[in-house]
Every structure is written in C-alpha cells, then in structure tokens.
Amino acid sequence: MTADPAEIGLNRLLRRAGWPERGRRLPRRKKSLLYLRRIVAVLLGLGFIFPFYWTFVISVDRPGQFDSFPPVLIPQWDWSSWARAWSEWPWLGLFANTALIASGTVILCLITSTLAGFAFGVLRFPGRKALMALVLSVLMMPQTVLIIPDYVLASDIHWVDTYWIQIVPWGASVFGIFLIRQFFATMPQEILDAAAVDGAGRLKMLWRIGVPAVRPALVIIAINVFMASWNSFLWPEVMTRSAASGAGVQPVEVGLSGFASANGTDIPGLAAATAFTTLPLIIVFLLLQRQFIRGALSAAGSIR
Amino acid sequence: MRSRQLAATAAAAAVTLLTVSACAGGGSSSSSTTTTAPAASPSANAGAITGPVTISFDEVYDSGTLKTAMQSAVKNFEAANPKITVSLTTYADYGALLTAETAAVAAGKAPTIGQAYESWAQKFATSKVIVPIASLPGASSTMSTALSSFYTGVQSDLKLPDGQVWMWPFDKSLQVLFYNATLLKAAGITSPPTTWTQFGTDLKSASKNGVVGITIDPGNATEGATSGEEWLEELAAANGTQVYTSNGTPQFTNPAVESALQYLVNLKKEGALATGTNYPGETALGAKKGLVDLSSSAGYYYEQQSVGGKFPLTTTLLPAGGSGAPDEMAGANLVVFAAASSQQQAAAWKFLQYLSGPVEQAAWSAATGYYPVTSQALTEPSMATYLKQNPWVSSTIAGLNSAIVDPPYAWVTQCGIDLSTAMSAALSGTSVSSALNSAQSACSSAQSNG
C-alpha cells in the first residue's frame, strides 16, 4: 500500500516540531526541550487567540464595563450589545454578499494567476520580461489614487452598485501571477518536454502537470486574496450604495464601519458585530484546517 | 473632527479633479455652471413641485440613532410632500463621503444634496458644482426668514468668502467638558471651574492616586487633527487671538497661541494631562482614571456608554479666558449640487427647510444629541422630555451664538494637521516656539499652494 503523500508531509512536520515517532521514547534533555517548545507554542497560540477572546468578552460585557480598569476578562454574558448590533444591519445579507464577492474574486484570481504565471514562467515569447515588469509595476500604484477615475469608469459601464465592480477589478493578483511564475520558472524543462513528446498540448500540460505542481502556491494565493477581499472597505464603500433597507450588494466591512462615527465609536456594538461576523469564519477554518494543511503539503509527494 | 482630517488626502486630490471635471462640464446636464443667478425666476409658482420628483441625499448617518432618526425624518417629509421621494445614500465617515461626492461629480452623477464641511463647500463652489442656496427655486423669498431663526454662530458658518450662503445647517455640536462628579467631589472641587486658570488648578489637584486630570488626543501627521487640536484653538481664542485670520492666514506664532500651547505643556509637566489616541479621554473617564473629558456634545451617547452608570456625569461648557469662552462648532452643513434639475432643486429647498425647521430639529436633537440649530426647537413638545433629562443642553446651547469655526479654505485642513504635529511635538519636549514656528512655516506653504 502506498503512503498518502500528505500524510508523509504531515509526519515530517511533526518530527520537525519535536514529536517522537510512535513507540519511541525521548531522552530526558530532549523531553524537556520538547515541553519547552510546546509551552512556547501554547503561549504564542494564546497570544493570537487573546484579541478575539477580548473582543468577545467586550461584546458580552454589562454596560460601561468595557472601559473598566483593570479590564474585565471574564465574560459577563450580557447579550444586549449583540441584540443592538444585530438589529443595526441586515447581517445575513451582508455576510452572503461578502462570501459571494470573496469566493468569486478567489476563483477569478486563481484562474488568471495560473494562466498568466504559466505564460510568464514557461512560454518563451518576445517582450516577456518587459511585460512581466509592467505587471509588477501595478504593485507600485496605490489604489486610493485611482479610486475616483475608477469610479468614473465604473459609472460609464453601469457597474456602480453591482457585484461585478467588487469582483472583476480584483480578479487578477499581481502577487499571485508572480508567485506562480516563480514556481514554473524553477520547474525542470525536461518534464514539460516529456509531456510534449507524449502529445500533450499547452492547456493539457498546464492542467495535468502545472496545476498539481503549483497547488501550494494556489492555496497561498487563495488565502491571501480571500482575506484581502473579505477585509476590503474603501472600494465597496465608494462603489456601492447602501439601501434604506436590505443589504443591497454591500459587504460586511461596510456594515462594521457603521459603529464608528465622527463623535465616537460604539465599542460594545462593534465588538458584538465583529464577533458574530468572524465566528463563522473561525468555525469554518477549524473544521477545514486539516484540509488546508493537506492542501499546502500535498505537493510534497508530487512534482516540484 | 478626526474623520474630517482623514479626508485631507482625498480633498487634496479632489481639488484638481473637481476643477478639471467642472471645466469639462463635469457631466452635469442642467444649470451646471450656474453660481449666482437663480435657477428659476421668482414668481408665484417659484419652487412649486409640478410632478413626482426624486432627490438623492449623500450623508454619513449610517448607524444607531442617527440612522433611524434620519429615516424617520425622510418618512415624515415624504408624507408631508407626497410628490417628493428622498433617496438616502449613507457612508461610513466623512473621508469616504468626500471621495464619493468627488467621484460622483466627476462621473456626472452628483447627488441632489450632500453633506459638506466648509472647506469642501469652498472647493465645490469654486469648481461651480454646487449652487448658492438663494438660487434654489422658491428660496429667494423664504431664505432670509429661515436664516434669521438660526443661532448667530450657525448663520455665519453658512457663508463662503464671497459673502453668499452656499450651505444650510442641519446638525451642530460644540465642545463640552464631561466631568466625573464623584472624582470632582473627592478632589474637594465644589463646582466645575469657570476659568481656564481655575481649570488648570483643579486638574492638578485631582491628579493623584492614578488619576490624571485630562487625557487628550493631540493628533499627528498620520492621524490628522483631533479634538485636542481644537482645544488649542479654543485656548488661543480665549487668550484673544484665533489661530487663523478670517482670510485663512495662520497666526500660530502669535503670543496668544504660544501661551495656549504653553498652558497645555505645563499641565503635562505637572502630571495633570496625558495624551493618547482613539478617544483616550473617554476611555480614561470611563475607567475612572480621568477627572474630565473634552469632547463633542454630540458624543454624549458614547460618553454615557463608557461611563455606564459607574458615576454621575456632569456636563458643562468650556471655561473662559481673558477674551471669553470661545467654543469651536462642529458638524457638517448641507449643499445642493448644480447638476440637479430645477424640480429637484425646488424639492431640495423644501427638504432643507424641513430638516432645519423647529419640529425636525427638536426630533433630531432629542434622538441624536446634536444641538438644534434654531432656538425655536427648544419649545417643541418633542424636546421637552429630552431637555428635562439633559439639563446641560439648555445651559450650553447658547454657545452656538459665539461659536468659532475655522475659515472655509482648503489649506486649513492641512494646517490643522500642522498644528496637531506642533502640539504633539511640544507635549513631547520640543520647545513651544520652535514647534509653532515649524507649523507656521508648513501652513504658510500650504496657503501659498492654495
């Protein structure tokens, strides 16, 4: 029976992290080091979890407690901020919008990054380097500078206040193209030559050899693009209109911004809204974390 | 104020774009370049709405009581004016609003009405994308009566340097002091101070056992100017000189301004003043680590939320200096865009009158904590309960008559940031005169560049 490449990769990782092989005992010194590593890892983990925990605690604080000193770190289970925050915006609609926009953007980005990265990394054509430099130069242009001309353009093509304007302009990632290109640039030419000898066309080569080889990069791109799309604020704020009722096409971030005004910030309300809009993502991540790791490591046993 | 300053970057870009778009016609299809002549000749029918008309309103009332109160105002207005529909477009903050308004103007899709600060209105007016209020159909005969009903400080805030009324008021606020009454009593202070000298003395006497008299956010180059910078302006005015002349020229090196900043530096040295970011005074007050917070009267809801009944809150107007107790007024105004049709402009004027009228002002004030812009609202039945629950409103609202505002010039936004930077530097140890000299120089450059 052949071992699962992902399993092999996972085991290697565990070994590197200090986990002993099944049935093997560690010397005392190594054992102490292992425990120390674990303690540091747990502390680091707690450090990452704490901001969300505190946000949740503030969201269920009793009135006036969020500003107490020393801070209250035990949940008080007062759900009034949740009720108030929930009634502020049509969160389910906003959440669905964000999920649709983020997913659409990720899919587009994966397609464009793979195609462009393959072209820049594998194909040989005149002006390839200059074109790549042109693509990279986009990174140097701040989005804020272009937002007004972009609005005019969006208005001209009747895309203002649509899902399209929130997905299509972000459907190509320079970072993604560069990353995939780097993967393909280091791929041995012999593999592609062998595929060509076997009669594979370019698209078949890309699909059968290229995509499995760059799967780790695709996972990284997907996570990055998803996070960027999920956190996007200024673009949807300017390009979309909030309706008097209903979510329209706006995402969660626009709703969250509503808790801050020129005169102050409704901190308990914002904490509650942040908690109930982040919670589903955390649950999804926890449920799928094994798949994420497998996805990232699966290339360990495939073509590199 | 912070949001206002965050808009500075967008504002700078907007000037050029607005000018270009205005020169190119800006996409407006009707009366887009009318700035002085009324859109319709005065007649018996001027301002009459002849058929169904929709007006759009770009604003920042997107949450909490602001959102529901605005929706309620629109509902009541539409019920009273069945031919007019008001379409609200809300934005999270003033920075996003300015970007959106600028973009919409450039795309030829300006709203009918938009919120605008004085410096924005000046840019819009210069670019000929808004119209003077008197030019709105029906306004020429009714504007002066409505105008005279506003507090005098509010009235003067509506004019641009050409002397014309280009803006209309809706919500206004002043800076007020929120005291922890329990800490006041514990420090042996029987009543809130009425002079800045006494204020300083009281802060010092209350600053002990982990309590700091006041915590402010002076702002900085990244964050922009904040309420701390406004305090400096108020102190300078109380010393007899405003930080800008009426034509927007900075006077940062004037002895009155230097004395104001030195006052703050001395408080810091004595341990009676601390600095922070993100409404630090509110946080310190709520944590019972601050005696007093200086904030907008419209921030009362947030102060109460932070205090949460832990102690009684005492709210007062600012103390006085040698030249009175000038208080900086905040709150954006409303402007009407030139691209709107004559019918839309007529409907806009009706809506502006409705929003600034005593009935709606009373309802809006009671719901949101903003001051009404007309004293007539104080006698409205809907205001009675609110005033009973918030007696500080009655005792502080007269400040709208003597309120100061920054002159309506584009560079003043940048100069506020320069002053914030100077304030932060001085509170961090730079000499007051050196910090203000740098700010004066930077602001003068901004003024030269327009």
Provide DSSP, A233-266: -HHHHHH----SSS-TT--HHHHHHTTEETTEE-
**Residue B32: predicted pLDDT:** 33
In the chain, the amino acid numbered A234 is L
- How many angstroms away from the CA of B216 is the closest CA of chain A? 14
Instruction: Considering only residues B51 and A143, tell me which one the structure prediction assigns the higher pLDDT.
Output: B51
Q: How far is CA B449 from the centre of its chain?
A: 25
Beta carbons of B290 and B243 less than 8 angstroms apart: no
Q: What is the mean pLDDT of chain A?
A: 86
**Residue A247: predicted pLDDT:** 63
- How many angstroms away from the CA of A5 is the closest CA of chain B? 49
Q: How far is CA A54 from the centre of its chain?
A: 23
Of the candidates B63, B74, B89, the beta carbon closest to that of A261 is on B63
d(CA A192, CA A254): 47
For testing contact with chain B, the best of A263, A266, A270 (most B CBs within 10 A): A263
- In chain B, the residue whose alpha carbon lies closest to the alpha carbon of A66 is B306
Residues 38-57 on B with a CB inside 8 Å of A are none
- In chain B, the residue whose alpha carbon lies closest to the alpha carbon of A243 is B89
d(CA B197, CA B179): 17
Q: Output b/e per residue, B142-155; b: 16+ Cβ within 10 A.
A: ebeebbebbbebbb
- How many angstroms away from the CA of A152 is the closest CA of chain B? 5
**Residue B128: predicted pLDDT:** 95
d(CA B70, CA B63): 10
pLDDT band at A275 (very low <50, low <70, confident <90, very high): very high
Percent of chain A with pLDDT over 70: 87
**Residue B45: predicted pLDDT:** 63
Please judge whether B64 and A261 are an interchain contact, meaning their C-beta atoms are less than 8 angstroms apart: yes
The dotted CATH code for B174-329+409-449 is 3.40.190.10
pLDDT band at A242 (very low <50, low <70, confident <90, very high): low
pLDDT digits (tens, 9 = 90+) for B72-103: 999 999 999 999 999 998 887 888 899 899 99
DSSP state of A186: T
Q: Which ipTM was obtained for this model?
A: 0.75
- How many angstroms away from the CA of B302 is the closest CA of chain A? 6
Q: What is the DSSP string of B368-410?
A: H-PBPSBGGGGGSHHHHHHHHH-HHHHHHTTHHHH-B---S-H
Of the candidates A88, A147, A241, the beta carbon closest to that of B63 is on A88
Please judge whether B93 and A268 are an interchain contact, meaning their C-beta atoms are less than 8 angstroms apart: no
Instruction: Considering only residues B428 and B65, tell me which one the structure prediction assigns the higher pLDDT.
Output: B428
B68 at A interface, C-beta within 8 A: no
| Omega before residue A188 within 30° of 0, cis | no
B221 at A interface, C-beta within 8 A: no
Mean pLDDT of A135-161: 88
With DSSP H G I counted as helix, E B as strand and the rest as coil, what are the percentages for chain A, rounded to 5? 70, 0, 25
pLDDT digits (tens, 9 = 90+) for B382-412: 899 999 988 889 888 988 998 999 999 989 9
Please judge whether A237 and B296 are an interchain contact, meaning their C-beta atoms are less than 8 angstroms apart: no
Specify the range with the lowest mean pLDDT, choosing from A38-52, A85-99, A125-139, B218-232: B218-232
Please judge whether B107 and A241 are an interchain contact, meaning their C-beta atoms are less than 8 angstroms apart: no
The dotted CATH code for B2-172+331-402 is 3.40.190.10
d(CA B266, CA B256): 15
**Residue A39: predicted pLDDT:** 95
Of the candidates A62, A88, A237, the beta carbon closest to that of B92 is on A237
Q: CA B117, B122, B127, B128 torsion: positive or negative?
A: positive
**Residue A257: predicted pLDDT:** 87
Domain ranges of chain B: 2-172+331-402, 174-329+409-449
Residue B14 has pLDDT above 70, yes or no: no
Mean pLDDT of B145-165: 95
**Residue A187: predicted pLDDT:** 87
Instruction: Considering only residues B431 and B450, tell me which one the structure prediction assigns the higher pLDDT.
Output: B431
Please judge whether A234 and B96 are an interchain contact, meaning their C-beta atoms are less than 8 angstroms apart: yes
**Residue B39: predicted pLDDT:** 41
Residue A227 sits at φ, ψ, to 5 deg, of -65, -45
pLDDT digits (tens, 9 = 90+) for B309-366: 899 999 998 999 999 999 999 999 999 999 999 999 999 999 999 999 999 999 999 9
B230 at A interface, C-beta within 8 A: no
**Residue B22: predicted pLDDT:** 42
Beta carbons of B335 and B166 less than 8 angstroms apart: yes
**Residue B206: predicted pLDDT:** 95
- Output the CA angle A284-A298-A34, nearest 5 degrees: 80
Query: Between chain A and chain B, how many beta carbons pairs sit less than 8 Å apart?
Result: 131
Residue A130 has pLDDT above 50, yes or no: yes
Q: Considering only CB atoms, which residues of chain A are within 8 Å of chain B?
A: 62-69, 88, 144-145, 147-149, 151-152, 155-156, 160, 233-234, 237-238, 241-242, 244, 254, 257-269
Mean pLDDT of B275-294: 94
Mean pLDDT of B283-300: 93
Residues of chain A with CATH 1.10.3720.10: 89-301
d(CA B226, CA A34): 51
Residues 88-107 on B with a CB inside 8 Å of A are 88-94, 96, 99-100, 102-104, 106-107
Please judge whether B1 and A62 are an interchain contact, meaning their C-beta atoms are less than 8 angstroms apart: no
- How many angstroms away from the CA of B296 is the closest CA of chain A? 6
Please judge whether B13 and A241 are an interchain contact, meaning their C-beta atoms are less than 8 angstroms apart: no
Contacts of B371 in chain A (CB under 8 A): none
CA-CA distances (angstroms) from residue B447 to A92, B9, B251, B450?
A: 48, 16, 12, 5
Q: CA B237, B317, B119, B96 torsion: positive or negative?
A: positive
Q: What is the mean pLDDT of chain B?
A: 88
Neighbours of A42 (CB within 10 A): 10
Q: Is B189 left (phi over 0), alpha (psi -120 to 50) or beta?
A: beta
Tokens of A122: 């594998």
Residues 6+ apart with CB under 8 A from B396: B174, B176, B297, B315, B316, B317
DSSP state of A163: S
pLDDT digits (tens, 9 = 90+) for B165-210: 999 999 999 999 999 999 999 999 999 999 999 999 999 999 999 9
Residue A300 has pLDDT above 80, yes or no: no
**SS3 of residue A17 by DSSP:** coil
Q: Are B2-172+331-402 and B174-329+409-449 in the same CATH fold? A: yes
Contacts of B91 in chain A (CB under 8 A): 237
- How many angstroms away from the CA of B215 is the closest CA of chain A? 14
**Residue A70: predicted pLDDT:** 87
Neighbours of B378 (CB within 10 A): 19
The CATH topology of domain A89-301 is MetI-like fold (1.10.3720)
pLDDT digits (tens, 9 = 90+) for B249-267: 999 999 999 999 999 999 9
d(CA A240, CA A226): 19
**Residue B29: predicted pLDDT:** 34
